[in-house]
Amino acid sequence: MRLLGVGASVLLAALLSVSEADGCMLCESERAAEVRAGLVDDSLAENFTAVAAPFLILAAVVALSHVCPDRRAADPSGRDHR
């Protein structure tokens, strides 16, 4: 999951570092500076949390539930006796 965070950060950093010469639509735009400033403002951390937190939390829950012992696995019939 740390990899996800790092990947998204690298993606955002790459996006913001592309120059006009690279032909990026966002960078060629007359509004590029304003858009970049809007992306990297005081709310950057909060916005990043808003995007990533649901996935990170769910991934942690799924991973935890996956490693918990499976009580049913011991029953060869696969029946649930609870």
Partner 1 sequence: MTTTRPLITAGVTLGIGMGGFVDGIVFHQLLQVHNMVSAKRPPDTVVNLEINMVWDGLFHCLTWLATAAGIWLLWRAMKRSDVPRQGRTLAGAMIMGWGAFNLTEGVIDHHVLHVHHVVERLGPSVWDWVFLGSGAALMVAGFGLVRMDRVRAPEPGAR
Give residues in contact with partner 1 (CB under 8 A). Answer: 4, 7-8, 11-12, 15, 26, 29, 31, 34-35, 38-39, 43, 46-55, 57-59, 61-62, 65-66, 70, 72-80
Q: How far is the CB of 68 from partner 1 (least distance, A)?
A: 9
Backbone phi, then psi, for 71, in 5-degree steps?
Answer: -65, -30
Nearest Cα to 45, choosing from 3, 82, 9, 7?
A: 9
Contacts of 4 (CB under 8 A, 6+ apart): 52, 55, 56, 59
23 or 77, CB closer to partner 1?
Answer: 77
Q: How far is the CB of 20 from partner 1 (least distance, A)?
A: 15
